[in-house]
Structure 1
Amino acid sequence: MEDIQQRVTAIGLTPKQTNGMQYRHVGRSGLIASAIGVGCFAFGGYVDQATTCAVVDQALDLGINYFDTANSYGIGKSEEALGTALQGGKRQQALIATKFGNRTGDGPNDIGASRMATIRACEDSLRRLQTDYIDLYQLHWPDHATPIEETLRALDDLVTAGKVRYIGASNMFAWELCEAHFTAEKYGLGKFISAQDHYSLLYRDIEKRFEPFCVKYGIGMTHYFPLAAGMLTGVHQRGAIVAGSRQDRNPNTAAWQSDRNWDVTEKLQAFAQQRGWTLAQMALAWLLSRPATFTVIAGADKPQHLVDNVKALEIRFTQQDLVEIDRITLVDEDRSVAPPYRTLRPEKVHEFEAMQLARAGAPSRAAH
């Protein structure tokens, strides 16, 4: 209380120190999120309740307010664990982003984005999270069996009812996000302010068509698997996943272990070490340099992971750094345009954006 009284002025409170945390608007909305977020997939399962509480407390102490979960993570267990960890007056400090649309039960309406499924899923999430509103409610996957207008009207009603503050999307193709955007505009419904998709230094296809749409129409981007399921942590080595780690226990880990991914990862590791950065911090910082990104949501199994992740905010890339990162990571030919256009219409080629700009003598958008 004394700290607050000392910061009171005639026009409100003076800003509180944020331990170096950065905050960004989510797209063109007024919602503000911490540049580093917490991926809560492992809460209530791989990460027990005591550790979940410790991670959440550490996040809040660092100025992190963005917590990303979903009703399908542990079939509700992640939401329950997060809701418990935010009790005791902590809820107001947090921005809860949860999702709906994946199957969570055996009934015909326990999946998808119909009006019934959407409203039921929201009410169930509110109960598990022990809160009366969700800050950012995201469609987890597009539901091709339900018209997007129906989904948007249900979400608009949830916003009107005060159960949801903002809405977002996840795993949409660019055309699907475009359809949703202009359907909302046509009928005067709330628009998606964010899009969450798979994006990392190992998988950059999203830059070809999806990212430009988000930049143009002011949709904030956040990304899952920013560290490529552990590949970009710098902890594991080719053929030697650390015993006892989450990756060691995950049956999907092998799917990431291609020779191409290891070749790129090892070069990125050397690049980061030459500059005194960890690979994980560089990978997160690079995503934050992208023009539409508002936060990155790496999972945290222990409080120290968040302390390490926040150090990514200290990294500053030069134009030459970005060009070299392009050279290392964009090793697959862009097949989104016909070969003649690579020479005749270079602006149509989306790979090596920073390198193209450097050759033209123009500043990179990603450098700011």
Structure 2
Amino acid sequence: MEKRTLGTTGPELSVLGLGCNNFGMKLDAGQTREVVAAALDAGITHFDTAEMYGEGRSEEFLGAALGARRDEVVIASKYLPRPQDEAYVPGALARRIREGVEGSLRRLGTDRIDVWYQHYPDAEAPDDELVTTLDELVRSGKVLHLATSNVDGGQIAGQAAAARERGLATFAGVQSEWNLLSRAVEADVVPAARAEGMGVVPYFPLASGLLTGKYAAGQPYPDGSRFAVIPYFAQVATEDNFAAVARLSELAAARGHDLVSLAFGWLLAQPDVTSVIAGASTPAQVAANAGALGWTLDADDLAAVEAALAG
């Protein structure tokens, strides 16, 4: 599988990353091993987890499933922000970050985290506390590369400036929701990341499943599907989006591909994208996602996508 470097300073990531949010929630330890094995067989070397996934079980299950193959992969994890009901005092964020990394290292059963994400920004803590603490982890060797997530362009610029002014480790990448139906990041996050030499790692590339084609307008959601189980995700299932999906499906079919191939291929055609995060709950889903790679969209394809989205 193709690999790309995360920004100008990060590690090489397989262009398809495995989102591990199902581990410890939807999948038990045995099922996790099967999915991880399928990912490794498919050439996926980028595994994305977080301390909040499954209340820590995702990291535990992932570490155990990788076992002796840990050094073959890039593990990305994320720390939770300071609790919202905890009043900020100087040092509170630093303490949370240090606690977070020790817990993740223990659960993953490893001596370092390859990419360590700020999962959500702290609205009150100063940037200097953030970047100083993260740099401390890099210098200690507990974290190899830093990244951020769920931030806006202004936060990217501010955090990068704070690190640069102090000569500290900077962020190699940013993770944000980005797909054919959700493109808000193109206005400020992507340009800010580009200006700072950061790679972009999209999550929800299939719009929570709407871009798989398994949902039909006016029809009940399949039993057990994400839309049926978690209404929050079904918010994307609007009349306009269903119409856009129909047009995109026709475009893909006319070029000999399916909708999932278009969704992945379009993101990977964006010059700032390093790796696309996609979750899976079965080995078959891993294989299907990996098999959907390979359509390299050219300028005509990209123009056709824009026309299809415009209606």
TM-score, L = length of structure 1? 0.79
In structure 1, how many angstroms separate the alpha carbons of the residues matched to 2:13 and 2:296? 20
Aligned-residue offset at 1:107: 7.2
The equivalent position to 2:294 in structure 1, one of 314, 320, 328, is 314
Deviations 1:230-273 (A, max 9, x none): 11112221233222234432232321211111111121112112
Match of 1:42 in 2: 22
Which has the higher mean CA deviation after the structures are superposed, 54-63 or 195-204? 54-63
Paired residues for 1:116-131 under 5 Å: 116-131=95-110
The equivalent position to 2:269 in structure 1, one of 266, 269, 289, is 289
Aligned-residue offset at 1:325: 0.5
CA-based RMSD of the aligned residues comes to 2.0
SS where residue 252 of structure 1 aligns?
A: helix
1:132 matched to 2:104: no
SS where residue 190 of structure 1 aligns?
A: coil
Deviations 1:68-92 (A, max 9, x none): 11111122121111112112x1111
1:251 matched to 2:228: no
Aligned-residue offset at 1:220: 0.5
In structure 2, how many angstroms separate the alpha carbons of the residues matched to 1:218 and 1:42? 31
The equivalent position to 1:305 in structure 2, one of 285, 289, 292, is 285
1:244 partner letter: G
1:265 matched to 2:245: yes
Size of the aligned set, in residue pairs, is 308
The equivalent position to 1:182 in structure 2, one of 131, 137, 161, is 161
Identical residues among aligned pairs (%): 37
Whether the 8 Å contact between 1:220 and 1:292 is mirrored in structure 2 is yes
Consecutive unaligned residues in structure 2, runs of 5 or more: none
Paired residues for 1:50-199 under 5 Å: 50-87=30-67, 89-102=68-81, 114-199=93-178
Match of 2:259 in 1: 279
In structure 2, how many angstroms separate the alpha carbons of the residues matched to 1:94 and 1:79? 14
Inter-CA distance 117–62: structure 2 relative to 1 (3 Å threshold): same
1:236 matched to 2:215: yes
Aligned-residue offset at 1:113: 7.3
In structure 1, how many angstroms separate the alpha carbons of the residues matched to 2:264 and 2:132? 35
Consecutive unaligned residues in structure 1, runs of 5 or more: 1-20, 332-368
Inter-CA distance 167–126: structure 2 relative to 1 (3 Å threshold): same
User: Which of the pair has the greater relative contact order for Cα pairs under 8 Å at 6+ separation?
Assistant: 2
Match of 1:336 in 2: none
1:294 partner letter: T
